[in-house]
Amino acid sequence: MFLLSPNSALPGAQAESAIISENSYRLMKYLLIIAFILLPLPLHGAVFSVTTVTQLEAALVTAAGNGEDDTIGVAAGTYYLTSALSYDSHEDNGITIQGVGGDAVLDGGGRRVLFMRTYSTNAPISLRQLVLTNGYVPEGDNGAGLFINISSADLLIEHCQITNNFAGAFYFTNHGGGAYLTAGVGANVVIRNTVIAGNVAKGLGGGLYLNLTDGTLTFVNNTVVNNENKTSVVEGGGGIYLRLYFDTVTAYIYNNILWGNTYAYGGGDLYIENNGDNNGGPATVTVNNNDYNQLDWNVDANITFSGNLSQDPQLTSDFHLPSSSPCIDVGDAGAPGLSAQDFEGDPRASDGNCDGSSIPDMGADEYYMPPTLTTAVITGITSTTASGGGNVVAEGGHPVTTRGVCWSLTAAPSLADTCTSDGAGTGSFISSLTGLTSYNTYYVRSYGTSCEGTGYGEQRSFTATDYPTVTTSYITNIDLTTATGGGNVIGAGDSSVTARGICWSISNQPSLGDTCTNDGAGTGSFVSSLTGLSEYTTYYVRAYATNAKGTAYGQEVSFYAKNKFPWSLIIPVVINGRSD
């Protein structure tokens, strides 16, 4: 191979050989460039943000065939379906459907809510923060709220609610009133922090029917209540019917509330068919720290129980635990798949019974009642200090032992930042903010702490300054030539306020160079009169306050000078007892 400069010249056959070599080199270079261009780019997951039923339907269709791992974010709200939502995919890719900004309520309106089927061993499904409700399927079909058939991939359902769905008509051939789930060999199914309630099936599993061929089931911190199986089959499973096929299945059932579920013969919270293939030993099942009334299974071997209750959980109508519930602080902190939040996003675990130990509760809800507070307006602002405070409106489940304010240079200050301690209990309190740095903007929240946790008030902000801090009042009593305004000096700065008032102009940012009032001195609120206005004119107004450092202004407000009464005032004249 020859390394040639552009002007190299060699005689005879050597020169010809060099030219051929150079041409070959260029050809190889071009082919490499073309090959690089044609290489398939790495695929990234597609993200869909939907706010309508039509968008959601389109996203599911696209996701089923776009060759990517997809995430469909469904904005919080209620979606009334006109046909069942469907995702039927042969791809080797996964999908996540999740509510964004709160629960996304999918209302079937008398038809199945969501159908999902995958065929690949690498096509996981995840559902989060969805409410699947008011679904129906006729005789011969299963899963009115949710139908999932997943091959050998993983399935995750968390922070969801499956409620008021009905599967069936006249006979017991319809399974899984709320949800019907089947998973193939090697699949791992996780269901946690989910409510399954008020569903009905003519067949097995009023709330949930789950058929797991192989793999692992993790069923943790769910609330399964008031579901019904209308079949006369003895093993029914009013709440849940689990069919664990091969003996290689391992099932972990921890920290759940299974209560008030029925079938034709009475109670029936959970039925475990732990030897589905009727060949060899049964699946391995652990049932720990659950609250249930009736649980049945078909083979005694390989199933263990520990820490379970059989007491009314006393749930509220929206599936929350009251302070008197026996399910508070009795879960298993070592449960597999235990998450850090309950079905509404409250922290898990909290010390619900205030015994000094934060232990998870049973069920989808974690009893968490922190104090409720408001944050006071920041006043007395100087370059290094300010005054704040708050009000403990309600203590929550237990007495407030500490309260005060926290502040920081970043939003959402907490106990990890600088805080005061200003007593205990309910009511208003005043706090002193010290050690501030001039011209920095600070964020402030009140806080109150009980044995259950800490609650915070709304956030306020201010800037530490040696100038006064003043706000502008809204303009009232507007007429053709006059109006009323004012302001509030909430901080004097580093010296006394010697003058205050408002300034106005027909241009933005009015200042002392425009028309102004002088309404006294010091801090606090004041009222100002605007006079000499021109009718049908827009004016801009700012409050001002002056100290030794200079003059500061409040935010700008505007108004339109016009007749206070847009109609003519007509006074009837009475002549000889008659009005004209």
CA distance 234 to 387: 69
Q: Do 376 and 493 sit in the same domain of this protein?
A: no
One-letter amino acid of 337: G
Q: Which residues contact 510 (CB under 8 A, 6 or more apart)?
A: 503, 504, 516, 540, 541, 542, 556
CA torsion through residues 188, 192, 195, 197, sign: positive
Q: Do 409 and 481 sit in the same domain of this protein?
A: no
Asked, as a colleague might, if the bond just before 412 is cis with ω within 30 of 0, I would say no
Is position 323 within any domain?
no
Quote the number of domains for the chain.
4
Is position 338 within any domain?
no
Q: Do 107 and 186 sit in the same domain of this protein?
A: yes
Is position 65 within any domain?
no
CATH number at residue 497: 2.60.40.10
Q: Do 257 and 144 sit in the same domain of this protein?
A: yes
Is position 332 within any domain?
no
Q: What is the pLDDT of residue 235?
A: 64
Point out the residues of the chain with pLDDT beneath 50: 1-25, 27-43, 567-575, 577-580
Dihedral pair phi/psi, residue 128, rounded to 5°: -140, 140
Of 226, 297, 222, the C-alpha closest to 259 is 226
pLDDT tens-digit map of 101-129:
999 999 999 999 999 999 998 899 999 99
pLDDT tens-digit map of 479-526:
999 999 999 999 999 999 999 999 999 999 999 999 999 999 999 999
Helix, strand or coil for residue 569?
Answer: coil
* In the block, residue with structure tokens 């199986």: 229
Q: Do 496 and 445 sit in the same domain of this protein?
A: no
The residue range of the domain holding 111 is: 76-91+102-306
Q: Do 140 and 213 sit in the same domain of this protein?
A: yes
CA distance 92 to 97: 17
Please identify, among 306, 329, 353, the residue that sits at the C-terminal boundary of a domain.
Answer: 306
Beta strands per DSSP E along 337-433 = 372-375, 386-394, 402-408, 418-419, 427-433
Is position 62 within any domain?
no
Of 441, 499, 437, the C-alpha closest to 468 is 499
Q: What is the pLDDT of residue 2?
A: 27
Is position 67 within any domain?
no
Q: What is the pLDDT of residue 69?
A: 95
Q: Do 188 and 278 sit in the same domain of this protein?
A: yes
Q: Do 395 and 267 sit in the same domain of this protein?
A: no
Q: Do 481 and 445 sit in the same domain of this protein?
A: no
Q: Do 143 and 255 sit in the same domain of this protein?
A: yes
Sequential DSSP letters for 520-537: -SSSEEEEEEE-SPPTT-
The structure tokens listed for 576 are: 């000889």
Is position 434 within any domain?
yes
Of 197, 257, 189, 196, the C-alpha closest to 221 is 257
Instruction: Rounding to the nearest 10 degrees, give the CA dihedral for residues 415, 418, 423, 424.
Output: -10
Please identify, among 448, 463, 478, the residue that sits at the C-terminal boundary of a domain.
Answer: 463
Q: Do 23 and 169 sit in the same domain of this protein?
A: no
Please identify, among 261, 280, 306, the residue that sits at the C-terminal boundary of a domain.
Answer: 306
Is position 335 within any domain?
no
Q: Do 161 and 284 sit in the same domain of this protein?
A: yes
